[in-house]
Amino acid sequence: MGKKAFGPDKTRTLALAGHRSSGKTSLAEVLLYVAGGTRQPGRVDDRSSLFDHQPAERRRGMTLELGFAWMAWKGHLLNLVDTPGSEGLSHNRSLALSGVDGALVVISAPDGIEYGTERVLSETRTKGLPVVAVVNRMDRGGDQKALLEALEEVVDARVLPLQIPFFDDEGTFSGVISLLQPDGEPRVLRYDLSGSGRFSPEPIPDRYRNAVASARERIVETVALAHDELLEEYLEYLELPLEKITAGLARMVWDRKVVPVLYSAASVAIGAQPILEAITSLLPSPLDRRAPIGRDLDGSPNPILPDGPFTAQLLASALDGEGDLYHVLRVWSGEPPRAGGLVNARTGDRSRVQKFYQIRGPRRTTATTRGPGAIIATWDPLEARPGSTFGVHTGRVLPFGPFDPPMMSYLLTPLTKRDEDLLEDALNRLRLLDAALEITEDSLTRGFVLAGQGQMHLDHALEVLRGALDVQVASALPPVPYRETPTAPVRRAHGVHRRAHGELVAEYGECWLDVVPKSPQDGIRFESTVGGEELPDRFVPPINDGIREATQHGPTAGYPVVGVGVRCVGGEYDMLSSEGEHFRRAGARALRAALKKSGTDLLEPWCSVRVEAAADEVGPVLSEIGSCRGRILDMEVGRRTVRIDSQLPYRELRTFSPRLQAVTGGRGRFTTTHSHYEKLPREFVREAITESPYRGLESNGIRPRDREPGYNP
């Protein structure tokens, strides 16, 4: 079966997405089992899932990365991409939705339309993806009428159930009533509750007949009213042939006019066969969907047609059980060149790729289907991050994402010299595995900072770094980039640089400065009122250079100094021996003397923060902002969501992400930008001095220009 090649018209490539714990992975396992891909369905709770096969996923019992599997179903190739439900890993879901032709949105029956469900539906709408909704966990109960009404509110389409949940005489969910059976007659599909996935068609019980007639009539009317060629036939016969209903419904799904609804209980393998049928009949093939729009390097649009030259998108990079890096691509057009030369469409870098595989969890087999819609993997090197476009030449870059911005960061410290030597290469490899990680250098310590979408995202990245990449690091919150500012004016601060050889002056520069506090936003302001006769103009810029050097470290804790107005009010020079370097040193000494005399206050950075959360969580979110010393600037409360604009000190913002997740059940998000500096409250000053990476720098006589290469305080 794995050796058969499928054409694009017989290929379906889709993502399973939804709120966490809605049963996406369990449903994917059942679909794979019923389609004959496995001998029994894997289970998340006993760590046997093929989709959640990474060590960290099995330890945590949850999906952390994209899971891939192919299966054959009635002459079709189905490529399933399982996505994480946690909003802290939403970047992986965004990548998956950028690389598929449709989505199976899984909804938990007892929990209804949750925040993650709304975000998935919003993203599919933005990307123009057709959707089939599956209400899972039907064996756990739930208000189906309320669920459908809520679903209707959040999708920009008509919600159309294609089934009615079937409960036996004891009230146990035992199957579904299929309203679009091949013979045209609705049937109860009663399942064996042992989890075998087997079912038997049965007649409709009398208690369901009215509901069935009404639901089927709604389907037929919906299709007929949307297609002029079918409406006349329907008005004459009050019925339509099944093939016309299915074809008309499929076009409506492709155009996002309808969201069909199916029911399942993955824990007992109920509902898989109708879902597989819906995938093949209602979701588009690569030939049916609207062509994705690539962008040439000059920004002009360029549709990617299935019969065009080879174009593929890198959906994921991962480490296999042996620690080897492999890459998973979605083919959009053409087939990979036989010579194996794949070109990064943005950079022009060429990679030699010879072997492609179809993957089913950790298992692989040689790929025979490599055309549009195919999901193929390679263990050959591809130096690119997920989301990158590959083709046969530069240009035609496909969009992906967008990702939520980072909400939390860790400062990394290698534990041994070996770890220090390996850390940079390991972080570069980690960047290839995760497109949403940001790796920067801390301005204070010069250490590496790892930034991600939240604590879960970062903790997972650290697991990979310490485990598969075998580099041991300590992680801590990044230091706060405090600043210092003078507290009082100082008049005629004196600085002099003099060096003599015997009785002769060899080096000489002298200046006097007036220093006044300014707003922190003003930075360093310098001017000179000294006339050219007293001090030649060529010596004024070096004084300015020395002043700026001296502001790199303040006297209180060594933090950079801001908010300083400096005026050069006097100077002396020697016509024969003075040079610019002498006045640079004199200027630095004069400003250090002024700052020492004035003393400095510590300033802390504040950030503008926009928080988005569910409307019913506005109270806890406001309380959490207040507990972080935050200030509310504006608030907009909608029917389902709330947006809060505020300001928070960076010191508290470093831990705001997990606190926000705790009070919003993982649903809150925020974006942030630097706003301004304010005086640090007295109760935090001792901590800021004690934790300063520059502590003792000045007392040890070390100046920035005196450091050895690679010095890291």
Instruction: Please report the pLDDT score of residue 505 as a whole number.
Output: 80
Instruction: Tell me the CATH number at 664.
Output: 3.30.70.240
The letter for the amino acid at 364 is R
Res. 184 pLDDT band, cuts 50 70 90: confident
The pLDDT value given to residue 696: 58
| 239 lies in the same domain as 329 | no
Q: Does residue 250 sit in the same domain as residue 177?
A: yes
Among residues 1, 9, 4, 3, the alpha carbon closest in space to that of 372 is found at: 9
Give yes or no: residues 57 and 178 share one domain. yes
Q: Do 330 and 419 share a domain, yes or no?
A: no
pLDDT tens digits, 275-331: 999 999 999 999 999 999 998 888 889 899 999 999 999 999 999 988 899 999 999
- Residues 560-582 have pLDDT tens digits of 999 999 999 999 999 889 999 99
Angle formed at CA 606 by CA 605 and CA 611, multiple of 5 degrees: 145
502: which residues sit within 8 A by CB, 6+ positions away?
Answer: none
Q: What does the pLDDT read at residue 660?
A: 94
Identify the residue with better confidence: 643 or 533: 643
* DSSP SS3 for 481: coil
User: pLDDT, tens digit, for every residue of 601-634?
Assistant: 999 999 999 999 988 899 999 999 999 999 999 9
Q: Between 698 and 451, where is the model more confident? A: 451
pLDDT of the residue at 698: 46
Domain assignment of residue 2, yes or no? no
pLDDT at 697: 55
Which residue, among 493, 670, 519, has the nearest Cα to 587 in the 3D structure? 493
Residues 319 and 268 in one domain: no
C-alpha distance from residue 489 to each of 494, 495, 517, 604 (Å): 14, 16, 6, 21
Q: What percent of the chain has pLDDT over 90?
A: 76
Domain count of the fold of the chain: 5
Confidence band, pLDDT 50/70/90 cuts, at residue 3:
low
Q: pLDDT grade, residue 703 (50/70/90)?
A: very low
Question: Which pLDDT score, from 0 to 100, does residue 704 have?
Answer: 37
Q: Is 422 helix (H, G, I), strand (E, B) or coil?
A: helix
Residue 513 · residue 554 · CB < 8 Å = no
Both 136 and 237 in one domain: the answer is yes
What's the rounded Cα separation, in Å, for the pair 707 and 294? 49
The predicted structure's pLDDT at residue 60: 84
Least confident of 44-58, 255-269, 428-442: 44-58
- DSSP SS3 for 679: strand
Q: Can you tell me the distance from the alpha carbon of 586 to that of 498, in angstroms, rounded to the nearest whole number?
A: 9
705 pLDDT more than 70? no
pLDDT band per the 50, 70, 90 thresholds, residue 341: confident
Give the SS3 label for residue 617.
Answer: helix
Statement to judge: residues 205 and 85 lie in one domain? yes
pLDDT at residue number 701: 39
β-pairing, 389-391 vs 408-414, is unpaired
Q: Tell me how crowded residue 63 is: count the other CB atoms within 10 A of its CB.
A: 26
Q: How many CA atoms lie within 13 A of 419 on its CB side?
A: 15
Question: Of the ranges 86-100, 339-353, 578-592, which is most confident?
Answer: 578-592
Same domain, 276 and 307: no
The answer to whether 444 and 512 are in contact (CB under 8 A) is no
* In a domain? residue 291: no
Shared domain check, 247 and 114: yes
- Average pLDDT of the residues of the chain: 91
Whether residue 124 lies inside any domain: the answer is: yes
Contact status, residue 282 vs residue 132, Cβ threshold 8 Å: yes
Q: What is the pLDDT of residue 615?
A: 87
Mean pLDDT computed over 19-48? 90
Residue 417's domain is classified under what CATH number?
A: 3.30.70.870
Domain co-membership, 316 together with 423:
no
Give the closest residue to 20 by CA, choosing from 130, 128, 136. Answer: 136
Locate all alpha helices (DSSP H) within 19-114, ordered by sequence. 24-34, 55-60, 90-98
| CATH code, domain with 543 | 3.30.230.10
- Considering 564, 598, 632, which residue would you say is the last residue of a domain? 598
**How crowded is the C-beta side of 569, counted as CA atoms within 13 Å?**
15
Residue 288 lies in a domain: no
Residue 701 forms part of a structural domain:
no
Is residue 706 in a domain?
no
Are 380 and 419 within one domain?
no
CA distances from 60 to 53, 63, 319, 456 (A): 11, 8, 18, 11
Q: Measure Cα distances from 421 to 426, 429, 443, 559 in Å.
A: 10, 14, 20, 28
Region 372-392 average pLDDT: 94
Q: Which of 607, 531, 524, 544 lies closest to 572 in space, CA to CA?
A: 531
Looking at residue 364, which CATH number applies to its domain? 2.40.30.10
> What sign for the dihedral angle of Cα 327, 328, 334, 338?
positive
What are the tens digits of pLDDT across the range 626-675? Answer: 999 999 999 999 877 899 999 999 999 999 999 999 999 888 899 999 99
Secondary structure (3-state) at 154: helix
Type of residue numbered 489: P
Q: What is the mean pLDDT of residues 91-118?
A: 94
User: Around Cβ 200, how many Cβ atoms within 10 Å?
Assistant: 11
- Is 367 within a domain? yes
Residue 271: count other Cβ atoms within 10 Å of its Cβ. Answer: 31
Answer yes or no: is pLDDT of 503 > 90.
no
Of 391, 417, 433, the last residue of a domain is 391
117 pLDDT more than 80: yes
Taking residues 188-194, report their average pLDDT. Answer: 93
Q: How many CB atoms lie within 10 A of CB 280?
A: 16
Q: What is the DSSP letter of 561?
A: B
Q: From CA 424, how far away is CA 461, in angstroms rounded? A: 14
- What 3-state class would DSSP assign to 404? coil
Q: What is the distance between the alpha carbons of residues 284 and 253, in angstroms, rounded to a whole number? A: 9
What is the separation, in whole angstroms, between the first and last Cα of the chain?
A: 61
C-alpha distances in angstroms, 452 versus 22, 63, 161, 439? 24, 17, 39, 9
Are 179 and 216 a contacting pair, CB within 8 Å? yes
Q: Is the dihedral of CA 656, 657, 662, 666 positive or negative?
A: positive
Name the strand (E) or helix (H) holding 360. strand 357-360
CB of 200 closer than 8 Å to CB of 190: yes
Same domain, 241 and 350: no
Q: What CATH number does the domain containing 266 carry?
A: 3.40.50.300
Give the model's pLDDT for residue 709.
Answer: 29
497: tokens are 């640089």
CA–CA–CA angle 517, 521, 524 (5° rounding): 55
- Structural domain boundaries enclosing 338: 302-391
| Stretch 493-512: mean pLDDT | 90
Whether 402 is covered by a domain: the verdict is: no
Q: Which pLDDT score is estimated for 654?
A: 96
Question: Which tens digit of pLDDT belongs to each residue from 413-461?
Answer: 999 999 999 999 999 999 999 999 999 999 888 899 999 999 999 999 9
